[in-house]
Structure 1
């Protein structure tokens, strides 16, 4: 696919960075961006050398949501810009039926995804960040769902994901009012994993991503699967029993052997690529 509104690269440690890339339009979301983003993530998901995906925006904005100039053109329609293809790439699909949808597919990826919110984050971009596994923001970044001010519902699963991240009390405030929430307040609510000054932001996120890339890919994928399976289940016993089953399986794998050898040898482990769980 020819990439016009996104770009990506992968470093030697297996950390992939994906940029929403419309700086002249503050990285506003379009159907083409939707399709390109899914296509990129499909490539990264299938690349055994990739261990972590970092999602950010070009310049000093993450994404301001739907293109403001296009909003009036959507009046009377039932959807936003439909994109390039009726059948975009489907990374993360097939893991659980609950994840086979726009944005929710991010929960089905084997690779952990970090949202590096480097500036304004509005509308669909809040959902985009929410469905990432981890979220960091630059100090002072502004977040808003915007929907109540546009006469729209809670968009793209925010009514499902936000209560699981920040609780019902904060969710009702954020979704009912559509008010601007600064990064520092969102951090206190529990939406973010950290907030960093602008001059430290890129390095801090990069350091965290490389730390994550150094642990067992199989362990990260397994934990991600467990977290969301257990979030969708009320059965604590099933969670314990499934973890015991996974322990028995993964103790026979090379990552466990390497992890033990590194621990006993007082060195850092070196996990080979391509060991993610299905």
Structure 2
């Protein structure tokens, strides 16, 4: 695919970086960006060289939300919103894991690889939802975050009403969703939305430290399984199923080469050399939790 509003690269450690890339428009979100982003993430998830993905924005902004020209279109159009953003023709990343994940944005949870949001600048609207459905979130100091929607006469969008209370609690979620106010990254960290907060000029270096640790020091199959266990258990909320299910998965993993290598590396005090991930590890190769 020819990429016009996104870009990506993969380094030698298996760390992929994806950029929202409309610097002249604040990296604002469009249907084209959605299509390209889906294709990139599906491509990376199927590449056995890739161990982790870092998502960020070109320049000084992460993504300022939907392009204002697109929003203006809806003030005069009679078309149904859902029809205008239909992505059934596009790549479908994260499919085959859990049917709850097979829709916009939450498909991040169906990916094999963990996704780290490196929020390097303004993050608004749909971008707030995208970061919420990433696996880890780090931000630069002093960046602005807002849902925007109540100030535009719109409801909570793209699952924020479901995910925000589960990350930061209903008290903080109600504040953010009802007011649409600008929340700075320092406050987001206090709320528990962020895994880390760093000076702007150090953000990417710190994020890459985490990404490279995941890429080089842990078993890709273990990370995939833990990711799927965590989100499956978040849905069913049954602790007994989580424990009993994990025991079955542990038994499976103890028969794999990565376990033998992990124990050997620990005993020999060296870096482990885990097997490359399979191209598309779905539940038939990584046991489901619960």
Same fold (TM over 0.5): yes
1:272 deviates by: 2.3
Counterpart residue number, 2:9: 9
1:273 deviates by: 1.2
Q: Structure 1 residue aligned with 2:140, among 131, 134, 138?
A: 138
Conservation of the 8 A alpha-carbon contact between 1:262 and 1:269: yes
In structure 2, relative to structure 1, the CA distance for the partners of 1:53 and 1:81 (3 Å cut) is farther
Render the CA deviation track for 1:172-222: whole Å, top value 9, x for unaligned. 110000000000101111110001001111111111110111211111111
Report whether the alignment pairs 1:158 with 2:131.
no
Identify which range, 76-85 or 16-25, moves more after superposition.
76-85
Q: Structure 2 residue aligned with 1:190, among 189, 192, 208?
A: 192
In structure 2, relative to structure 1, the CA distance for the partners of 1:178 and 1:84 (3 Å cut) is closer
1:83 deviates by: 6.0
Q: Structure 2 residue aligned with 1:205, among 204, 207, 211?
A: 207
Report whether the alignment pairs 1:32 with 2:35.
no
TM-score normalised to the size of structure 1?
A: 0.97
Counterpart residue number, 2:120: 118
Conservation of the 8 A alpha-carbon contact between 2:17 and 2:54: yes
Counterpart-to-counterpart distance in 2, 1:34 and 1:85: 8
Report whether the alignment pairs 1:240 with 2:243.
yes
Q: Structure 2 residue aligned with 1:149, among 148, 151, 155?
A: 151
Counterpart-to-counterpart distance in 2, 1:193 and 1:149: 28
- Secondary structure at the aligned position of 2:236 is classed as coil
Counterpart residue number, 1:101: 103
Counterpart residue number, 1:19: 19
Counterpart residue number, 1:253: 256
Conservation of the 8 A alpha-carbon contact between 1:56 and 1:118: yes
Render the CA deviation track for 1:97-141: whole Å, top value 9, x for unaligned. 111100010011110000000000000000010000000001001
Identify which range, 87-96 or 29-38, moves more after superposition.
87-96
1:146 deviates by: 0.1
Counterpart-to-counterpart distance in 1, 2:83 and 2:55: 22
CA RMSD of aligned residues (A): 1.5
Counterpart-to-counterpart distance in 2, 1:65 and 1:132: 16
TM-score normalised to the size of structure 2?
A: 0.93
Counterpart residue number, 2:93: 91
Counterpart-to-counterpart distance in 1, 2:38 and 2:261: 33
1:82 deviates by: 3.5
Counterpart-to-counterpart distance in 2, 1:181 and 1:85: 30
Identify which range, 222-231 or 73-82, moves more after superposition.
73-82
Counterpart-to-counterpart distance in 2, 1:31 and 1:224: 28
Unmatched runs of 5 consecutive residues or more in structure 2: none
Counterpart-to-counterpart distance in 1, 2:74 and 2:187: 32
Conservation of the 8 A alpha-carbon contact between 1:30 and 1:81: no
Counterpart-to-counterpart distance in 2, 1:98 and 1:119: 30
Unmatched runs of 5 consecutive residues or more in structure 1: none
1:268 deviates by: 1.3
Identify which range, 202-211 or 85-94, moves more after superposition.
85-94
- Secondary structure at the aligned position of 1:232 is classed as helix
Counterpart-to-counterpart distance in 1, 2:88 and 2:223: 32
- Secondary structure at the aligned position of 2:116 is classed as strand
- Total equivalences in the alignment: 278
